[in-house]
Chains A and B, each alone.
Chain A
Amino acid sequence: MKSYLNYWLRMIRCAIVGPPIFYIWNSLLTFLFLTGVVAYIYQFQNGLIVTNLTDQVSWGAYIANFTFLVGVAAAAVLLVFPTYVLHRDDVKDVVLLGELMAFTAITMCLMFILVDLGRPDRFTHVMPVLGRLNFPRSVLAWDVVVLNGYLFLNLHVPGYLLYMTYKGQKPNKWLYIPFVFVSIAWAVSIHTVTAFLYSGLGGRPYWNTAILAPRFLVSAFAGGPAILIIVFTLVTLFTKLKVRPQVFDMLKKIAMVFLPINMFLFGSEIYKEFYTDSVHTESMRYLFFGSHGHAMLQPYIWASIVMSFAAMAIFYIPKLRQNSKMLIFACVLAVLGIWIEKGMGLIIPGFIPTPLGDMVEYTPSVVEFFVCLGIWSFGALLFTILAKVAVAIQVGELRENS
């Protein structure tokens, strides 16, 4: 009892005490998070009328960010698989950070869902006993199950391993290895189920495509390494954990494989739509070229395509990818490209035109912007703290006997 309390107290202390740059960074994030809270209270009081959502475009920035972050969470499998299946020791150093990132991403996903609800006060309706989950008919009910399951898996495994490291004990294999293998399959399931949310709707031809789930997974494995490279560069820069070059090499290779596959799948979609040239092509025509005098999403999608190709070019030219600054630049481009393509390129055009042919455009309102920024800041803050504590335990600064 005492030693466990001690463990928590020391972790909390480690999480809130740090060098000046740590305070500056955390204060900034806390401030941005609080602006998000204020924006959300405003939305909560007035209703979703303060967003730019309409009956026609009924999902927007919140659901787009949610979808993207499910991919970020799924990307943790890129570290879990090499560590536990291929037994790579170099990746083992960072696998806990990957799992904590997945935990953070899922937490953010749940926050994005909560802020999107018209009745957040009725969240108990999706819970067992208190609620009435429409399982297995509703894919959204499946999403509730898989996301919460993944949240638990990514809390349990790193939590247990960190505690054992802290105690200086050898972890009991049976208490975490089974969960690790479940989490590998589970990572695939979260993004598949999230894609099925959209692809299962016959009334939305733009989403009603079988390659949506593969596209989601591939984009997660293309954008995931990019995010991990950025995060690990920062970890190496600011903490005592020095991520080994082999890890970066592995992530670069994964990105080099999946970035082109991602573009290929997107290209297949584009071909199918435009060559068929049916009435259902209207969403994509609107997205790329505008339609009936509406063209709000045009700059987004072209920017996304340019970013993705630029990122690919940097990854594929050895001289450029070996330059660490260029590499980071490429990673930022890849992440932004995929983020825009998921949100403005996938979620929004699904609603335009509407099933009855109405054209209503959408771009996030100021309130939506600040709520999104708030959740992103919260995520960054949460991950900073989790990573700081995890690194302190891993490098041996924080141990029971230290």
Chain B
Amino acid sequence: MDNTDKEKINQWSERVSQRVDKILDQSVERRGFLKGLLGTVGGAAAASTAAGAIASEVLPESDFSWEKFFQEHYKVMTAEDKEKVFARIETETKRKYGVDVKVRDPQALDGVKFAYGLNLSKCNGSRMCVYACMKENNQSRDPQIQYIKVIEMDIGTLNLEKGDMYYEGESVPKAGKYYLPVQCHQCDNPPCAKVCPVEATWKEKDGIVVIDYDWCIGCRYCMAACPYEARRFNFSAPKVPKEEVNPDQGYLSNRMRPKGVVEKCHFCLHRTREGKNPACMEACPTGARKFGNILDPKSEVSMILKTKRVFVLKEELNTIPSFFYYFD
């Protein structure tokens, strides 16, 4: 470095340090301090507005707001916070989909633990459950997201790798085949909730594993961890035609999801916590699906567990699913 350069740098840093000293001196004076403070606040406000403008420019749906940015985790939000958030989601849904919806937050009931039984002797592979679920839960239609995968299996094997989940044909069931629907098993020892780095997914006391779609960072670690392939990612902003939006929505269940977050089956908690059955069960044409409270010894699922030949998928992984299969 030659001397003139060095001198220039020297002069420059002298000027900067003088200025900094001056500002520091000024702040001791009260008026100056207030002035400075006003300047700072004004500057910060201007900067945040500018940042907001840039953010809404980059986000195509002008989705960004500071309120959303600072929204807290579901478990931390107060009742008032939640009300505001639900109202905001309703407004957003109105803007994006043109539909008036109601976002509610049904709570888990005491003395209730849900279980789901699936009768493999009866399931005929019609996939009625798959589409009923999609309709009920406002999954994106393009790209299409489905919570339930039905695997067509050869009779005599339970090796999933030999199954076919893309089966097509004129009619079901096909000869020599049986059908194994898989959806979130609401495990009692859920690997997905364990690995989530931000606790955006957790198990509720009635056994349902839920996701706070406004907290999920979209790292997809839960998808890697799930042994049942139950989780789906919103690779783009979900698209649902206006007339197909289900307006009865739960914050932790079927309300409209943002882009870039994970979702999955939640046993239709906005229905089941209010005494209704899950949509997949209602749609099933064969009665293969049984849902109920396992803590009630007289419930159908309790009876099945006591009297039928029951098994769970991948029992060796100790995930302890609340979703089981049985035969007549």
Contacts and interface: CB of A to CB of B under 8 A. Distances in A.
A21 interface: no
Most chain-B Cβ atoms within 10 A of its Cβ — which of A14, A118, A204?
Answer: A118
Interface in A331-384: 350-351, 353-358
Contacts of B143: 49
B195 A139 contact: yes
Contacts of A253: none
Interface in A3-34: 5-6, 9-10, 13-14
Contacts of B13: 2, 5-6, 9
A119 B260 contact: yes
B229 interface: yes
Contacts, number: 182
A118 B317 CA distance: 28
Interface stretch (B30-38, B42-50, B211-219, B287-295): B211-219
6 tightest Cβ-Cβ pairs between the two chains A and B: A118-B218, A203-B227, A118-B260, A357-B161, A140-B197, A47-B236
A165 to B, nearest CB: 16
Contacts of A93: none
A116 B219 contact: yes
A138 B195 contact: yes
Most chain-B Cβ atoms within 10 A of its Cβ — which of A46, A55, A350?
Answer: A55
A9 B217 CA distance: 38
Contacts of B232: 55
Interface string B214-255: 011111110111111101111111000000000000000000
Contact of B196 (A10, A44, A119, A138): A138
A110 interface: no
Given A5-B17, A356-B229, A122 B215 contact: yes
Given A2-B13, A47-B235, A356-B160, A121 B69 contact: yes
Contact of B17 (A2, A53, A125, A351): A2
Contacts of B16: 5
Given A1-B17, A356-B229, A138 B218 contact: no
A364 to B, nearest CB: 15
Interface of A: 1-2, 5-6, 9-10, 13-14, 41, 44-49, 51, 53-56, 58-59, 113, 116-126, 131-134, 137-141, 143-144, 197-198, 200-204, 279, 282, 350-351, 353-358, 397-398, 402
6 contacts: A49-B236, A117-B219, A125-B73, A203-B226, A356-B149, A357-B165
A44 B218 CA distance: 13
Contact of A202 (B14, B191, B218): B191
A279 B160 CA distance: 10
A165 B240 CA distance: 63
B223 A55 contact: yes
B198 A47 contact: no
B4 interface: no
A62 to B, nearest CB: 11
A341 to B, nearest CB: 19
Interface string B188-206: 0001001111111000000
Most chain-A Cβ atoms within 10 A of its Cβ — which of B194, B197, B200?
Answer: B197
B41 interface: no
Contact of B221 (A1, A54, A125, A140): A140
B171 interface: no
A47 B1 contact: no
A125 B76 CA distance: 13
Most chain-A Cβ atoms within 10 A of its Cβ — which of B162, B191, B232, B235?
Answer: B235
Contacts of B327: none
A277 B151 CA distance: 24
Contacts of B262: 118
